[in-house]
């Protein structure tokens, strides 16, 4: 009996055993998706919980439906939104600094499918030390868009294997994939959107899933003058406002809700004590909203705030102690010319 089970198991790939289904798009492009999860059910449930609290909130991970991801790309091209340009500046000069740490067989693993511009800069560096490259974007939302196809068309020796899942599950998936070392990247200061305890858990989880020869490259936004931060999240074109309000439109579309977007406004403030931008949607009148798939109706009073995002800004001491406390050794830290942003290369202790 045991051997029969073993035989059945051997006929399945490791990924299938982890509950993933493989979907092939073209020769060098495929993705793995968990066989069973209803993302709508989880979304509906989380929204039910967080909008029924006395302090209402919506998790920032829900910003990124197709429209939200497109608006985020628009944010990245705003002159006020310095993190994108600062990080790109560091990546453009990273080649000679990163190459000494690479060998000829690294995989590139990206947590959150970043803009293909930044990914390309890293792919170019990796191709300086190896002939073939496997790139694993991990994201809960649609990662295999046109940009992945364009990457495959532009790099002959590149294979893209997307994992459509949470970062944590995606890393579990990669850990079981093969024995090659990974350069795991978490760019854009997305880490800043976690609360402190969530962030520490996340770093520890990455650390435990890393192999001893894996490298971790994380982009972090640094503390700076409040007015620069304020302007970055209150841009003159109102793109950040559009991004923030879109989460209500997403709830309307996917959870059959009736938020009237005209009855809300974007509100982003810098909390100096906590070193973070806090983003909210302010209700402009007393209103009653029904979210059918979450099975709830909620009342909002005039000026009531729905918290939608924290974006933490870090000091170098904080970064170093967070890395130490999650068993990372800092290898290098690179900065842009204005010292607005840092890219940190770390490895497992």
* Residues at the interface with ligand AVI (CB under 6 A): 75, 83, 188-190, 192-193, 233, 240, 243, 309, 311
Q: How far is the CB of 235 from ligand AVI (least distance, A)?
A: 9
Q: Judged by CB, which is closer to ligand AVI: 242, or 348? A: 242
Give 182: exposed, middle or buried? Use CB within 10 Å, 0-12, 13-18, 19+. Answer: buried
Q: How far is the CB of 193 from ligand AVI (least distance, A)?
A: 5
Please state, in angstroms and rounded to a whole number, the distance separating the CA atoms of residues 160 and 153: 11
The residues pairing with 57 across neighbouring beta strands, listed in sequence order, are: 307
Q: Judged by CB, which is closer to ligand AVI: 60, or 162? A: 60
The residues pairing with 26 across neighbouring beta strands, listed in sequence order, are: 29
Q: Judged by CB, which is closer to ligand AVI: 18, or 68? A: 68
Q: How far is the CB of 102 from ligand AVI (least distance, A)?
A: 26
Q: How far is the CB of 11 from ligand AVI (least distance, A)?
A: 41
Q: Judged by CB, which is closer to ligand AVI: 170, or 192? A: 192
Q: Judged by CB, which is closer to ligand AVI: 328, or 341? A: 341
Residue nearest to ligand AVI (CB): 311
Hunting for tokens 């993933």 — which residue is that?
A: 20
Q: Judged by CB, which is closer to ligand AVI: 84, or 177? A: 84
Q: How far is the CB of 236 from ligand AVI (least distance, A)?
A: 14
Q: How many CA atoms lie within 13 A of 49 on its CB side?
A: 6
Please state, in angstroms and rounded to a whole number, the distance separating the CA atoms of residues 279 and 268: 4
Q: How far is the CB of 85 from ligand AVI (least distance, A)?
A: 13
Strands 215-221 and 182-186: parallel
User: Which DSSP category does 222 fall into?
Assistant: B
Residues 6+ apart with CB under 8 A from 343: 87, 90, 91, 94, 187, 217, 218, 219, 220, 333, 334
């Amino acid at each position: 009996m045991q051997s029969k089970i073993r035989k059945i198991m051997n006929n399945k790939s490791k990924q299938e055993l982890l509950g993933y289904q493989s979907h092939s798009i073209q020769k060098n492009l495929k993705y793995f998706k968990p066989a069973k999860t209803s993302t709508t059910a989880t979304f509906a449930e989380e929204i039910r919980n967080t909008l029924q609290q006395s302090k209402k909130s919506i998790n920032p991970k829900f910003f990124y439906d197709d429209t939200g991801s497109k608006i985020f790309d628009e944010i990245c091209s705003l002159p006020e939104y310095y993190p994108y340009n600062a990080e790109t500046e560091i990546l453009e000069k990273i080649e000679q600094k990163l190459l000494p740490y690479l060998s000829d067989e690294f995989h590139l693993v990206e947590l959150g499918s970043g803009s293909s511009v930044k990914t390309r800069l890293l792919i170019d560096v990796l191709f300086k030390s190896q002939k073939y490259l496997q790139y694993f974007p991990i994201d809960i939302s649609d990662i295999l868009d046109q940009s992945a196809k364009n990457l495959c068309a532009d790099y002959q020796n590149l294979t893209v294997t997307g994992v459509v899942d949470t970062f944590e599950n995606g890393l579990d998936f990669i850990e079981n994939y093969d024995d090659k070392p990974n350069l795991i990247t978490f760019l854009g200061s997305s880490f800043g959107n976690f609360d402190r305890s969530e962030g520490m858990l996340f770093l520890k989880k990455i650390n435990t899933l890393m192999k001893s020869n894996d490298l971790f490259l994380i982009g972090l936004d640094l503390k700076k003058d409040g007015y620069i931060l304020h302007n970055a999240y209150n841009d003159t074109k109102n793109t950040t406002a559009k991004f923030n309000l879109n989460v209500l439109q997403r709830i309307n579309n996917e959870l059959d809700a009736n938020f009237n977007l005209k009855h809300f406004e974007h509100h982003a403030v810098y909390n100096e004590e906590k070193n973070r931008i806090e983003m909210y949607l302010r209700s402009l009148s007393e209103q009653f909203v029904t979210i059918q798939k979450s099975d709830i109706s909620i009342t909002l009073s005039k000026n009531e705030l729905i918290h939608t995002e924290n974006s933490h800004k870090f000091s170098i001491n904080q970064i170093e102690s967070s890395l130490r406390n999650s068993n990372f050794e800092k290898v290098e830290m690179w900065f842009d010319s204005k010292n607005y942003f840092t890219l940190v290369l770390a490895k497992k202790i």
